[in-house]
Amino acid sequence: MKHAQATELIERYFAGSTSLEEEAALKAYFRNGDVAPQLQHYAPLFHYWEAELATTAPPKRTAPVRKLPRRLLAVAAAILLLLTVQFVHRQQAPDVTGFPVAQRQPVDWSRHEITDEKEAMRFLKKVLKNTSENLTKAPEITIRELREVERILD
């Protein structure tokens, strides 16, 4: 290859417009050793590519991987979960040893029994009236709440 042709190929090489055959010719030109003085500073670049092609990566050495059975991993995860829950529970549980325990007292229900018939009738009327008022208010409350939900959704 002539020096003028090599100069033109170098310019096209750095512009990215050379073909593979032209690049191979450039590599051969610089490998030959008879390089023009104005192109001498490109020689290390092409020698670098030649040296890099000759290098290979060392073989990959991997340590043998020991896989644990899934059941063993599941048991370990369950134990870890139980220990975590127990730890959190102990952190949140209050210490009740400092509180006095209330004595259980029997309830005397006889104080609350109605023994008079007139009093029982008056109490029953009051309970039925209260129940009736609450039952008549329930549809109004429901309709009001449904309207509020419709207003929020719209």
Q: Given a cut of 70, is residue 101 above it in pLDDT?
A: no
| d(C-alpha 138, C-alpha 134), whole Å | 6
Q: What's the pLDDT at 67? A: 73
Three-class SS state of 109: helix
Q: What is the mean pLDDT of residues 94-110?
A: 68
Tokens for 144? Answer: 């009001």
| d(C-alpha 82, C-alpha 80), whole Å | 5
Alpha carbon of 153 to those of 100, 139, 143, 145: distances in Å?
A: 51, 21, 15, 12
| d(C-alpha 43, C-alpha 124), whole Å | 113
Q: Given a cut of 70, is residue 93 above it in pLDDT?
A: no
Helices (H), the chain: 3-15, 20-32, 43-54, 70-92, 117-153
Give the dihedral of Cα atoms 26, 27, 31, 37; nearest 10 deg.
40
Confidence class of residue 83 from pLDDT cuts 50, 70 and 90?
A: very high
**Angle, CA 16 vertex, CA 39 and CA 42 arms, to 5°:** 20
Cβ-based neighbours of 16, under 8 Å, separated by 6 or more: none
| d(C-alpha 40, C-alpha 29), whole Å | 11
Poorest-confidence range of 61-65, 91-95, 111-115? 91-95
Cβ-based neighbours of 39, under 8 Å, separated by 6 or more: 3, 6, 7, 10, 30
Alpha carbon of 40 to those of 16, 20, 26: distances in Å?
A: 20, 22, 13
